[in-house]
């Protein structure tokens, strides 16, 4: 029996309307079962969907740690509890990322042996499976041991999500040579090369993020967040520039009309709305983080990913990756 998905109805810039609309589409178009979590009076019309009522909301600018401790009846905390208590297969939120992480970590807990959870963000590769960037921002300060675990967890995620059997893993640095980079990177390079279960292929640079020659790119959460936002910002900048050029006059607008049918599929492939969100790895439960400006499409795709990851047994994959000796011995409470 598959469990429903717990959706934070109050998370994101366009909550609750786009969030509820995305849930409705996930039910109608994908056949998923979704529970909206939030204060009924703030959700408004639930579009016929089940509501798990709570009384509080963690706002986008609330302090993550403090708000999770204080707002125990918030939509984020309750969604995490539904997963913890085996009442939902995964939680999805487009809200305060820090508070989403804190809720998931505090309520679900970590998988055995995991030092710290991390954020895995798929980067599009036109024509082939996305590359998983990890850590995309959960941990601003990392040890080499943490980065090795991120590589193991993200490899398991790449396998579950993109069916990559033995994902190639690279370390983000400032040169291909093992001697290049910060002390952390140099130490991590040695450890990654020496860790069984990681298909380590060496260093990559910032220019290798899109398109990427590897399946998983490992970095600390500070560098990963800067790189991800630089990538997103650059793509957005260029698309705006092109739209401005096309809007110059009637002639350029006509040329744009000719190109749009070819440009739009490419742009769609790159849009975060179609990536299905980032995933928290290392936790004893599935948590999908959709971007703050999620529309209904982004939410529907995030729900789809949550359901698929549950069905694919992504938690078991992560368990075995971190504790290969305990394969098959870990009873789970969350599926």
What residues make contact with a copy of itself under the rule CB under 8 A? 126, 137, 140-141, 172-174, 180-183, 185, 205-211, 219, 221-223, 225-239, 241-242, 245-246, 248, 251-252, 254-256, 258-259, 262-263, 266
Structure tokens at 269: 């492939």
Nearer to a copy of itself, 140 or 194 (CB): 140
Q: How far is the CB of 293 from a copy of itself (least distance, A)?
A: 12
Nearer to a copy of itself, 136 or 321 (CB): 136
Nearer to a copy of itself, 112 or 233 (CB): 233
Between β-strands 287-289 and 278-281, what pairing exists: parallel, antiparallel or unpaired?
antiparallel
Cis before 296 (ω within 30): no
Nearer to a copy of itself, 242 or 312 (CB): 242
Nearer to a copy of itself, 28 or 205 (CB): 205
Q: How far is the CB of 277 from a copy of itself (least distance, A)?
A: 18
Q: How far is the CB of 150 from a copy of itself (least distance, A)?
A: 16
Nearer to a copy of itself, 80 or 138 (CB): 138
Instruction: Identify the helix (H) or strand (E) that includes residue 238.
Output: helix 221-246
Q: How far is the CB of 212 from a copy of itself (least distance, A)?
A: 9
Cα–Cα distance measured from residue 201 to residue 41, given in angstroms and rounded to the nearest whole number: 53
Q: How far is the CB of 62 from a copy of itself (least distance, A)?
A: 12
Structure tokens at 129: 């499976």
Between β-strands 118-125 and 199-204, what pairing exists: parallel, antiparallel or unpaired?
unpaired
CB atoms under 10 Å from CB of 331, counted, come to 4
- Greatest alpha-carbon pair distance for the chain in Å reads 67
Instruction: Identify the helix (H) or strand (E) that includes residue 65.
Output: helix 64-70
Q: How far is the CB of 216 from a copy of itself (least distance, A)?
A: 16
Q: What are residue 75's phi and psi, to 5 degrees? A: -60, -40
Partner residues linked to 109 by β-bridges: none
Nearer to a copy of itself, 172 or 307 (CB): 172
Q: In the 8-state DSSP scheme, what is residue 247? A: T
Question: Residue 142's closest CA among 174, 176, 185?
Answer: 185
Partner residues linked to 125 by β-bridges: 128
Q: How far is the CB of 121 from a copy of itself (least distance, A)?
A: 13
Sign of CA dihedral 8, 10, 13, 18: positive
């Amino acid at each position: 029996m598959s469990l429903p998905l717990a959706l934070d109805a109050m998370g994101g810039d366009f909550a609750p309307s786009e969030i509820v609309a995305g849930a409705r589409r996930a039910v109608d178009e994908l056949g998923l079962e979704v529970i909206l979590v939030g204060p009924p009076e703030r959700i408004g019309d639930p579009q016929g969907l089940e509501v798990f009522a709570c009384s509080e909301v963690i706002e986008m600018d609330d302090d993550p740690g403090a708000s999770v401790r204080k707002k125990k009846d918030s939509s984020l905390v309750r969604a995490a509890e539904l997963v913890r208590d085996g009442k939902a297969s995964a939680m999805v939120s487009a809200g305060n990322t820090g508070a989403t992480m804190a809720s998931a970590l505090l309520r679900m807990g970590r998988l055995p042996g995991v030092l710290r959870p991390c954020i895995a963000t798929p980067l599009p590769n036109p024509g082939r499976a996305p590359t998983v960037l990890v850590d995309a921002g959960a941990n601003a300060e990392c040890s080499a041991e943490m980065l090795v675990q991120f590589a193991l967890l993200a490899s398991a995620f790449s396998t579950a999500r993109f069916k990559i059997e033995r994902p190639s893993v690279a370390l983000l640095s400032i040169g291909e040579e093992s001697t290049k980079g910060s002390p952390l990177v140099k130490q991590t390079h040695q450890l990654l090369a020496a860790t069984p279960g990681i298909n380590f292929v060496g260093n990559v640079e910032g220019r290798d993020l899109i398109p990427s020659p590897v399946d998983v790119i490992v970095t600390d959460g500070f560098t990963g967040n800067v790189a991800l936002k630089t990538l997103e910002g650059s793509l957005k900048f260029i698309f705006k520039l092109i739209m401005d050029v096309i809007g110059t006059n009637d002639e350029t607008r006509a040329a744009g009309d000719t190109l749009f049918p070819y440009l739009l599929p490419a742009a769609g492939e790159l849009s975060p709305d179609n990536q299905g969100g980032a995933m928290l790895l290392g936790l004893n439960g599935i948590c999908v983080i959709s971007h703050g400006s999620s529309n209904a499409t982004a939410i529907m795709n995030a729900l789809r990913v949550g359901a698929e990851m549950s069905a694919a047994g992504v938690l078991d994959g992560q368990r075995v990756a971190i504790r290969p000796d305990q394969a098959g011995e870990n009873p789970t409470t969350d599926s």
